[in-house]
Structure 1
């Protein structure tokens, strides 16, 4: 039997999803793209995202977490750091395989099955925190005098904590859904480690499918994307009006300098939101494509194309979680001052300069 053929139905071959000839992307091309992204691109992003998110956390702690925006940005950097670390670890089989090829496949599926719930949770949490920040700034631009009384630091802290906890709880279903088993593929006669649905999943399949297919894969990503998109547009429009009004009505240099820091902060966070919108837009395309073409999904005709698209989306999410440092450095003089004040950063700059 042809290894790519699942069965024969009245003389017509029925192909496995990954070897279906109607696939726009072949299985070999998918494996090559996965190898390049997971083994080369993602580790490169890790070496940028991990240290810069640590610097973000340190700077915002030094600036003071009693300020609600510092608290929000600290939590965002912390969540992004965990996501960058855990998602990069899911590709550690590349390096294990370099030394122990016999363990590569086992390591790959074991690590992914245990970590997927956590890094998926941190990825969604990053989007939720970006949404909270975007809405908070929108409220501040519209009601600058009432924002401090309407949105308190304690309230924001509790909201962030509860959001991350609930999202992580929902995403634990990813790790509980699959087990790593040694199985023989009946079509290729190759025995190797594979992911197989767990007994817990078979007992509660409906609950797992609702949480994953509807809540975590569709509702949360699309909701956060939509809210960030709408609130960012509203903030930009209102910000332009505010700047125009202050330029035409303010005659006090002291008033202009007092408000310039807040305006800079809003502009910085608008850029952060825009980056999130750009890097999250593929999830909208994936969801829309699956609705318009039911075969564009896992284990269906366009299985390979769906996986490649999701891999590219995950890499963009990784980049989104690693790029905020450069936005802060470029846009915020206060951030740069605090960064220069760090002894470790000064030593690093001195070392690089001497080199």
Structure 2
């Protein structure tokens, strides 16, 4: 856990339970002598850390930042008269920032950088400069995905009223509120954490590192509850809305086959948009499902947590979950190219 060397194991456990935005296995493992029944050895964990955190983090994040930058350019060119474009533009912003944070985390964990003669404890500093920002933008992306699927549910359940209910300005207000809501939920972390010059005896030098306030454990507990509700709540809401969307799309297709042979261009456009959002939601569910299961497993198996007997397994799985989240944030461009003819046309015009 980043910066954990100033606190006891219980505090480390509380912080890492906030869905591991701030992992630093090298620091946490100095806390506690772990028993012989480790499922993942220290040597294997070191290899996983180098391969995943120092290599895959940067590969996936660099690729994802590129695809999301393309999304931003294309949606800006398409304009924001369509409310879906506003939401998907905001989603691309949060995905881009999440991946940029992961890229920085990869740099901080890279031994070439972390063990060099730099004046910062990069593995500790990433706690609030990389880990929590990534956590923030990933949760914003989850809430925006939940909102987009909800909006498409409205389009399929009350198509005649949705245009008067969902406007560009209202969508913009909703998006801003989502960003602010998640920001307020993690703000306490920055109140209890500070960057100062510290003496590191094991390095025999002074570096910029983290210190924590005395009430850190209480603050982390509150933050965990807030973010646990937002994280799992948005996930299950996306699942619910996706089920409704798929059901309504099937009914719509069946109705058209039964009662009309004429092409409904407007209805066809709405169905295409709904299918695209459904696919985005399915990718989201598939990629974030392991993280949701893992967060529940941390309760069911207390030993699988930082500072406990299976902390190596915890760190290994958590780093892999970062990769699945990065994949989710990177792949939407290909969904848009496949499902949206207007996006494809604009993309070809620009590139």
How do 1:177-196 and structure 2 match up within 5 A?
177-179=192-194, 181-184=198-201
* 8 A Cα contact 1:130 1:228, kept in partner: yes
Q: CA RMSD in A?
A: 2.6
Please give the alpha-carbon distance, in whole angstroms, between the structure 1 residues aligned to 2:268 and 2:191. 50
Distance 1:142 1:56 in 2: 28
Summarize deviations over 1:189-214 as a string: whole Å, max 9, x none: 77687976512xx1353233211x22
Whether 1:285 and 2:297 are equivalent positions in the alignment is no
Which of the two has higher C-alpha Rg? Answer: 1
Give the CA deviation at 1:70. Answer: 0.6
Is the Cα–Cα contact under 8 Å of residues 179 and 197 in structure 1 kept in the other structure? yes
Relative to structure 1, the CA distance from residue 27 to residue 195 in structure 2 (aligned partners, 3 Å threshold; closer, same or farther) is: farther
Asked if 1:168 corresponds to 2:183, the answer is: yes
Q: Is 1:223 the counterpart of 2:233 in the alignment?
A: yes
Q: Within 1, Cα distance between the matches of 2:72 and 2:336?
A: 12
Contact 1:141/1:238, CA 8 A, preserved across alignment: yes
Aligned residue in 1 for 2:334:
326
Q: TM-score, normalised by structure 1?
A: 0.82
Structure 2 CA distance, aligned partners of 1:204 and 1:305? 25
Shift of 1:43: 1.5
Relative to structure 1, the CA distance from residue 17 to residue 153 in structure 2 (aligned partners, 3 Å threshold; closer, same or farther) is: farther
Greater RCO, CA 8 A, separation 6+:
2
For each residue in 1:225-284, what CA deviation from the matched residue of structure 2 results, as whole angstroms up to 9, or x when unmatched?
Answer: 10001110111011101111012111323x2x3322221111111111011101111222
Q: Name which of structure 1's ranges 67-76 and 84-93 shifts more when overlaid on structure 2.
A: 84-93
Shift in CA distance, 99/90, structure 1 to aligned 2, threshold 3 Å = closer
Mapped to 1, the partners of 2:291 and 2:37 lie a distance apart of 23
- The aligned residue for residue 272 of structure 1 is 280
Alignment of 1:148-167 (within 5 A): 148-167=163-182
In the alignment, which of 212, 224, 230 is matched to residue 198 of structure 1? 212
Taking a change above 3 Å as real, the CA distance of residues 177 and 306 of structure 1, as seen in their structure-2 partners, is farther
Q: What's 1:337 paired with?
A: 345
Q: How far apart are the structure 2 equivalents of 1:338 and 1:106? A: 45
Secondary structure of 1:69's match? helix
Q: 2:54–2:106: 8 Å Cα contact kept in structure 1?
A: yes
Q: Which runs of 5+ in 1 are unaligned?
A: 1-14, 346-355
Contact 1:19/1:27, CA 8 A, preserved across alignment: no
Cα distance in 1 for residues equivalent to 2:304 and 2:256: 51
What secondary structure does 2:302 align onto? coil
- Aligned residue pairs, count: 320
Within a 5 Å distance, the mapping from 1:73-222 to structure 2 comes to 73-93=88-108, 97=112, 101-103=116-118, 106-179=121-194, 181-184=198-201, 197-199=211-213, 202-203=214-215, 205-211=217-223, 213-216=224-227, 218-222=228-232
Going from structure 1 to structure 2, the CA distance change for 1:95 and 1:29 (only over 3 Å counts) comes to closer
Q: 1:18 & 1:163 partners in 2: Cα distance?
A: 42
Change (3 A) 1:277 1:195: farther
Kindly state the Cα deviation for residue 84 of structure 1 after the two structures are TM-superposed. 0.9
Change (3 A) 1:105 1:19: farther
Decide which moves more: 119-128 or 56-65. Answer: 56-65
Contact 2:192 2:219 in 1 (8 A): no
Pairwise CA distance, 1:45:
1.4
Q: Which runs of 5+ in 2 are unaligned?
A: 1-29
CA distance in 2, matches of 1:307, 1:328: 34
Cα offset, 1:100, TM superposition: 6.6
Which one of 228, 236, 239 corresponds to residue 246 of structure 2? Answer: 236
